[in-house]
Amino acid sequence: MKVIKYLLLLPFLGASLWATPNVLFIAVDDLRDWVGHLGGYPGAKTPNIDRLAKRGVSFTRAYCPAPLCNPSRISLMTGVAPYRSGVYGNGEKLRERLPDAVTLMQHFRASGYSVKGAGKVFHGTSAYDRDSWDFFFKQTGKKRNSFKRDPGLPEDAWVRWGPLDCGDDEMFDAKNAEWIISEMEKPQEKPFFLAYGLTKPHLDWKVPQKYFDLHPIEGIELPPVKKGDLSDLPVFGTKLAREVYDPSGEKNFAVKPDGDHANVVAHGQWRKAVQAYLATISFADAQIGRVLDSLDRSVHARKTIVVLWGDHGWHLGEKEHWRKHALWEVSTRTPLMFWVPGGAAKGQLCQRPVSLIDIYPTLVELCGLPQRYGMDGQSLKPLLEAPDQEWERPAVTTFGFRNHAIRTERWRYIQYSDGGQELYDHEADPNEWSNLASLPRYSSLKSQLAKWLPVTNVKPATKSSR
């Protein structure tokens, strides 16, 4: 049976028949489509992410299971969607909600892999799930923060960005990259699964000055916005645009009359915020480049599958909204790419809508591990072989109890728990400025899209989970 398993894997291996592929698993926090090859922002500078995309397949329509760190990551790592797990917010813990789940890392460990990680892979305390790791690198000491606010800004200005007077080596993500590099340089007795989780470009957008210099303020372009964009939204949609995340832990969200957007604009910070987000992405890209360079120099390069993903998108003023936690395109879309040495597809973009929850079954199949049943995702291996082939299944994103978005190649359909709906035609309206849900001529289309809505909706554990 083992011989058959390896024969099935042969098209994906650049080494010998008997080589079991390693996995380098790169997670990037709050990364939207502002990377060079996806064209989300014309001045994005991400040469290392882009060169990885050129080696394999990059999905242009990859969507998160949930537009919030914890539920998105738990879904990805367990293969269980939020509507089945009941994990909707950042407060739930993996083993309290899913005590019997077999995580992606667990499955690789059980299949004979050495499984190690560093940085933000899971969210919060779930990062140190004992069953998931042979070893997880945990930094000690205080984080450096030499940031100074712009002089003259009042205390109520929401300003969590700016250049730091330090080198890369003092940054959390750079230190984790160094540890990942040291692991790849070691002799390996087993095939390895090595996870590198970057905390950037999550807030705070504070990185060394040289990354701000890559994006001069005078050249910064603001995201496209439409005056009165919220006028055709249902009540719940408008509420999401006005909500801001409450980091206190008392509750996940708070509502402000005009949300973060009015604050940013009133204090003249919009252009500086965009600059800072771009700078932080470039910093993250540089650390990814260091890790990829190390892999290229190592003996593992020809037998290591690399997957890079962001956990969800990020608004910078679109729909008068900042942060994530919404069901629109900008909140839910994120980069996803696979490099499979010896694979059939190289340097190709796949336009089919897929979900991050598909990563688990994809890696299981690519590495020839025992199949896992009852998962909500499906293997993307067929699209890695032929990115243009038909793909009927849309991506489903959930934000809180019974709030879902369905994304096909052309349409985004949102249904909220209170009955509110949104419908956008991405061929004619890529910015989602015109909600078509109330127009009678789209009733049949909505009914077709609604068939993909989850039937099961597990109730949340706490009120803070929405």
User: Which residues touch 292 (CB under 8 Å, ≥6 apart)?
Assistant: 48, 51, 52, 306
Tokens representing residue 359 in the block: 């990563």
C-alpha 59/C-alpha 211 separation (Å) is: 26
Residue 69 appears among annotated catalytic residues: yes
At residue 108, the 3 state secondary structure works out as helix
Q: If DSSP codes are grouped into helix, strand and coil, which group holds residue 341?
A: coil
Identify the sign of the CA torsion 165, 170, 172, 173.
positive
CA atoms lying within 13 Å on the CB side of residue 308: 28
How many Å apart are CA 452 and CA 10, to the nearest integer? 35
Positive or negative torsion for Cα 360, 366, 369, 374: positive
Q: What is the C-alpha to C-alpha distance for residues 37 and 94, in angstroms, rounded to an integer?
A: 34
Tokens of 115: 């499984």
Tokens of 225: 């916005």
Catalytic residue (one of 37, 123, 261, 321): 123
How many CA atoms lie less than 13 Å away from 46 in the CB half-sphere?
A: 28
The answer to whether residues 331 and 89 touch, using CB atoms and an 8 Å cutoff, is no
Tokens of 335: 């980069």
What token pair was written down for 266? 């009133």
3-state secondary structure of 131: helix
- Per DSSP, the residues of 53-88 read HHHSEEETTEE-SSSSHHHHHHHHHHS--HHHH---
Catalytic residue among 69, 261, 350, 367: 69
Q: Which residues are catalytic?
A: 69, 123
